[in-house]
Chains A and B, each alone.
Chain A
Amino acid sequence: MRQWLNRVARRARALVHGSALDRDVDAEMRLHVELEAEEIARTQGLTPEEARRQALVAFGGVERYKEAHRDARGVRWIGELAQDVRYAVRGLLHAPAFSLSAVVVLALGIGASTAVFSAVDAVLLTHLPYPHDERLVRIYEQNSPTNRWTLSVADFQAIEARAHSLSAVGAAQQRDVAVSARHGPEQMRAGYATSGFFRALGVQPTLGRSIEPRDDRPGAPRVALVSQAFAVRTFGGATSAVGQSILVDGVAHAIVGVLPRGVSELAGMHADVWPVLQLEPPRFRGPFGLFVVGRMVEGMTLAATQRELAAISVALLKTWPMPDHTARLTPHLLREAILGNAGHTLGLLVAAVGLVLLIAVANVASLMLVRATGRWREVVLRTVLGATRGRLVRLLVTESVVLAVAGAVAGIAIGAFGLEVLKVTGPNMPRLDGAHLDARAVAFAVVVALLAGIIVGAYPVALLLGRDAAPALREGDRTASAGRRTHAIRGAFVVAEFALALPVLAGAALLLNSFVRLQRVDPGFDPTRLVAVHVALPSGRYRADSTISTYWARALPLVRAVPGVVDAGIGEALPPADWWNTDNFDLIDRPVSPGSAQPTSPWMKVGRGYFAALGIPLVAGRLFTPVDTGAQPVVAVSRAWAEHYYPDGTAIGRKLIEGGCTTCPPVTVVAVVGDVKYQGLSGSADAVYAPVTEAWPRALNLFVRTAGPPARAVDRVRSALRSVDPDIPLRDVVPMEDHVYETLAQPRHLTTLLGGFAIAAVALAAVGIFGMLSYTVSARRREIGVRMALGASHGAVIGMIVRRGMAHAVAGAVLGLVVALLGTRFLASVLFDVGATDPVTLVAVTVLLLGVAFVACWLPARHAAQIDPVEAIRVE
């Protein structure tokens, strides 16, 4: 036992001190040679040099003894591994073209998939930063699987009072506010929230206290939490912020706590300031504008919570009747509510990048196969000379693993870069900003690389294990059946590459097609030389309607008078992708049956000059006049709305009931105006406009059309507005052309990304077929030479090679079409105006892919036609 321990210790030492021990051996050998030389010199009377020479000759190579020594040390396998790696690296360096292309291809595949993995990891796999996030729910009013909206005060207070399945529930509302602290007013986002909001999320301030239930009561002193960043920016630090007072929209709030560092977003709501939300007892069922989150009690299921909330909804209808009886309070896991369709978008990316990775691996596997076949003779010779199979397998596997590891290292670098690109240009999705290439991503890259290495090395190894050496040695390599089998497998790889490339290309083409159509969509207004200025009047001084209307009555004429300003108008919405409010309505002459869901439409207040400033034409009826007051409410509708509800063209004069308010006077349609997109360029153009006469919104967009480039006029517009009230923060001015462009960012990014993957996929497939045919040409050089000697024309030779390649490409493309037909339906939800199996697109991409394949086939074929028959026949 002790001896055994000694031996283990010795071997361990040998491993650790390997080179030191080698030096020991060196010293010992040297001594031996010296002593031997002295002896020879003494006994035979030779010169020292001659004696030394003889001693050396007698001794033989020193390296051999070192090797023997290492063997005796029992660390041979590790030495051999190092040797294998050295050998593999040397071998790969001897074939730089092969190695470089294999590493680059692998690195691209691994890098792209690692970047996408990091994004998926950050967005989908990581938990929300709240304790037990699986118990957090967001509650909606919902009347169909796709139609859900925020809650009213009545809803929220009913849940607060009656829901036993929730241990905490809170409401929040995001508003643009003007915050005055030490400096002048600053426009920022505030998240008004009840105490339950923080309790439900489990978020505690790092300093001070949280908002408590006693703060929620209307009339209680108003308090606020602020972000660390705000505290530092405004008060120089968290400690000095607590206890300070800030004006939020003119109302004083005491800062009672500072949120933990880095928290600028809660439950998907971004804000720097979190004032308490004090809810008055409701007078109506609506309006519906509360963001409500709850925490389920431990052990509660979503289904049970849903049942309880549904019961509460039904009970609520008795106290607060609602025209739509079908809507229910419905909980959704907060995680899913925040992620929305990010999962879908990421799924698309994962699918695309996965296909590209597979093509890359198939490509390298095919390269590796050729290399292995080319080395068949070497392998056979080694076998004959006594190398064991295990040793040879190890050699081949080492080579592919070395390739894969090199690919992984380069891939991780590419992945880190790719992730940054993805963050900047990628589809906008929650929490992607937090993505970084962490240990998990590196582990992912390594696992992908090793799997790739195994796949890449598998067939050569199988070839090696499955054959006897001797017959192969006799047959010679080129004509060996192994060569033929290799051809077949390479062909299969090429078919697979094309089958995988086509769906990626088809997906990208569909997105591109959809994007081009989206770009051609008319937003309904002319965005050139049009700017929007967001003006939010602070609620402190602008509480009464009259103050707001007075402000605009003074401001608008001043703005219109600015030199260079052609027109100016105000409105709530910022087309093409931002509208304030969707309202339900009931047509008096075509009412829906009682209790069922009423139709809805974007519903926005517009002030004087809105239609003119945006260039929205009047189609029928009359525009609003100052006499349109609340007593006889009127609206204008869009042409799409009119055609939707009154296809016979008789919308003017129709009456409708707005928002289920049966006691309010009905609203009359007095105008049909041109279509404008408010729900995104791909959305419908339904719209209802109401003149702003009462209940003035404090935040409005001022649209200004200028005669020349807007920049100079905009400065004068700003000073005109300041002359009316200098204390109103004016956020950046948005040129509407930029704004329209911005709304296309998401589809543009997705299209660009998928386009990049598609280019990679097609390029890899082309390289694959090119490589296969080049090899075919070199392998069949002699045969081609004979054919040409027998009179085959250049054209016939080219035809023969191209036909062989194209057969594979076509087979792959057909398979790929089947895959694409099955797969592109997952794109349907992001496509606009294009079917997921749009035949024109599919045919076009097939033709494109085969065209690329043809070029890739033609190049080696032309090379084949240039073979000199005499030379080719003489060579072998």
Chain B
Amino acid sequence: MADRADLLQGTLDLLILKTLRLGPLHGWGISKRIRQLSSDVLEVGQGSLYPALYRLEDKGWIRAEWGVSPEGRRAKFYTLTAAGKKQFAAERSQWRLFSGAVEQVLGAT
């Protein structure tokens, strides 16, 4: 577990929005997708994932619907809303600005 990084505050929302941009997913799917995409570096604790999902739903950025999963199970699928897409774009550019700046500071000699 030592090689897995803790998530920075505020980045989880961004990651969830990103994974959902690729298509509707259920909760477990989201956590698995984040793990896969980060090559097992980012581990989303369920304790953070679900509250974040409810929060995003409440803000109207994602929508939840019950459906049937590829495994044939009843599951709640989250879909990005139009507002969520806009939010994702805004957060992504903000993140890029932020991470670039941090990189720049760290790279300075």
Contacts and interface: CB of A to CB of B under 8 A. Distances in A.
Interface of A: 3, 6-7, 10, 24-25, 27-29, 31-32, 34-36, 39, 58-60, 64-65, 68-69, 71-74
Interface size on B, as a range, is 20 to 34
B54 A68 contact: yes
Contacts of B55: 72
Interface stretch (B2-10, B68-76, B93-101): B68-76
B26 A69 contact: no
Contact of A10 (B27, B58, B75, B76): B58
A25 B57 CA distance: 13
B74 A27 contact: yes
Contact of B46 (A10, A60, A69, A73): A60
Given A29-B50, A65-B46, A72 B27 contact: no
Interface of B: 26-28, 32, 46-47, 50-51, 54-55, 57-58, 60, 69, 71, 73-76, 83
A71 B54 CA distance: 9
A100 to B, nearest CB: 42
A59 B27 CA distance: 13
- Per CB-CB distance, the 10 closest pairs between chain A and chain B, nearest first, are A72-B54, A68-B51, A35-B28, A32-B28, A69-B54, A3-B60, A65-B50, A72-B58, A72-B55, A28-B76
B49 to A, nearest CB: 9
A19 to B, nearest CB: 16
A65 B55 CA distance: 12
Contact of A31 (B54, B58, B74): B74
29 contacts: A3-B60, A3-B83, A7-B60, A10-B58, A24-B76, A27-B76, A28-B27, A28-B75, A28-B76, A29-B50, A31-B27, A31-B28, A31-B74, A31-B75, A32-B28, A32-B46, A35-B73, A36-B28, A39-B32, A60-B46, A65-B51, A68-B50, A68-B54, A69-B50, A69-B54, A71-B51, A72-B57, A73-B54, A73-B58
Nearest to B32: A39
B71 A35 contact: yes
A29 B53 CA distance: 13
Q: Is the interface of A mostly helix, strand, loop or mixed?
A: helix
A791 B84 CA distance: 81
Given A32-B28, A74-B58, A60 B47 contact: yes
Q: Is the interface of B mostly helix, strand, loop or mixed?
A: helix
A10 to B, nearest CB: 7
Given A32-B27, A35-B28, A64 B47 contact: yes
Chain B CB within 10 Å — which of A24, A39, A72, A74 has the most?
A: A72
Nearest to A72: B54
Given A3-B60, A6-B60, A59-B46, A69 B51 contact: yes
Contacts, number: 57
Contacts of B26: 28, 31
A78 to B, nearest CB: 16
A32 B69 CA distance: 12
Contacts of B69: 31
A516 to B, nearest CB: 75
A189 B27 CA distance: 86
A550 to B, nearest CB: 101
Contacts of A71: 51
A59 B28 CA distance: 11
Contacts of A36: 28
B58 A7 contact: yes
Nearest to B50: A65
Nearest to A4: B60
Contacts of A69: 50-51, 54
A18 to B, nearest CB: 14
B47 to A, nearest CB: 6
Nearest to B71: A35
A69 B58 CA distance: 10
Nearest to A2: B60
A605 B51 CA distance: 97
A31 B25 CA distance: 13
Nearest to B55: A72
B33 to A, nearest CB: 13
Contact of B51 (A7, A24, A59, A72): A72
Contacts of B58: 7, 10, 72-74
A64 B54 CA distance: 13
Contacts of A3: 60, 83
A25 B54 CA distance: 10
A42 to B, nearest CB: 12
Contacts of B71: 35
Contacts of A32: 27-28, 46
Contacts of A64: 47
A34 B27 CA distance: 12
Contacts of A25: 50
Nearest to B27: A32
Given A6-B60, A32-B28, A72-B55, A58 B46 contact: yes
A300 B28 CA distance: 84
Chain A CB within 10 Å — which of B46, B55, B74, B75 has the most?
A: B46
A36 B75 CA distance: 14
B51 A31 contact: no
B87 to A, nearest CB: 11
